[in-house]
Amino acid sequence: EGHVLRMKALYVNNPSNATGTVLSEESVKEIVRFAKEKGMLILADETYQENVYFETNPFTSVRKAMYSLPSDFHDVELLSIHSAARGFVGEPGKRGGYMHITNFTPEAQAQTIKMCSVLLCPNLTGQVAIDFQCHRPAPGSPSYPTYAAELAAKHAAYSARGTKLVAALRALQGVTVADFVAGAFVLPKVALPEGAVAKAKERGVEADFLYCESLLAKTGVLVGPGSDCGMDGGKGYFRMFALMEEKKLEAAIAAIAKHHGEFLAEYA
């Protein structure tokens, strides 16, 4: 009481992890307008920008949206983030990423670079992954046809896997989940039985954790409870990777379906 909250930065994750939603161009522009009005820095995590599977949901970067607005908005401070560990390149073991700084003062830019310089340098494979991400085969180059074909095949496969997983989850009793349109994860919601909620309270854990723990113990399928992301544990959300190999995906779907029925029966 008596203190005034002064927000300095606004974090934007687009496309979203883990909901897979993509902000419309107008929504991104509204974020820029808000940041301008409040004098806030925008931290734009755009690592899944290439994992957009339908033309009806195009990705718009914060930087593009900012410069499409009148010049009054072109001075908003922005730090855009990309990575080879996520997104289309999707190599979690290759720890490489980069950021693009816009409208930082020379002093702020120097401090940012200083902060980064005291960290350990990415390993060689991480640096190679970033070089590939930033310097891809261009149209007309000998390797471009192969690259373009692989890119299209990956997008088609990722879209099919995510759509298949969503359909399987929706077939389960009491489970709802948004369409898979972008990113690499789905965030289904399970209508947890009262018995499960009571058991979780008795153990002193979140109800969504109880569901995820049971799934892991009985099937070996690992998902993350929504409460780990700050969501209400009683709502029954869990986060699941959607782009695994086809055989693994089919096995996971079968295991989840079997466990789900058993879990509901156990806590009915």
User: Which distant-in-sequence residues (6+ apart) come within 8 Å of 235 by Cβ?
Assistant: 189, 208, 226
User: Which distant-in-sequence residues (6+ apart) come within 8 Å of 139 by Cβ?
Assistant: none
Cα 179 to Cα 22, 54, 63, distances in angstroms: 11, 11, 27
Which strand (E) or helix (H) includes residue 241?
Answer: strand 238-241
pTM of the prediction? 0.86
Residue count of the chain: 268
Q: For residue range 237-251, what is the model confidence (pLDDT) as tens digits? A: 999 999 999 999 999
Q: For residue range 212-236, what is the model confidence (pLDDT) as tens digits? A: 999 999 999 999 999 998 889 889 9
The phi, psi pair for 178, rounded to 5°, reads -75, 160
User: Which distant-in-sequence residues (6+ apart) come within 8 Å of 74 by Cβ?
Assistant: 66, 67, 103
Q: Is the pLDDT of residue 1 over 60?
A: no
Q: For residue range 37-71, what is the model confidence (pLDDT) as tens digits? A: 999 999 999 999 989 988 888 999 999 999 999 99
Cα 24 to Cα 54, 55, 56, 141, 185, distances in angstroms: 13, 12, 10, 33, 19
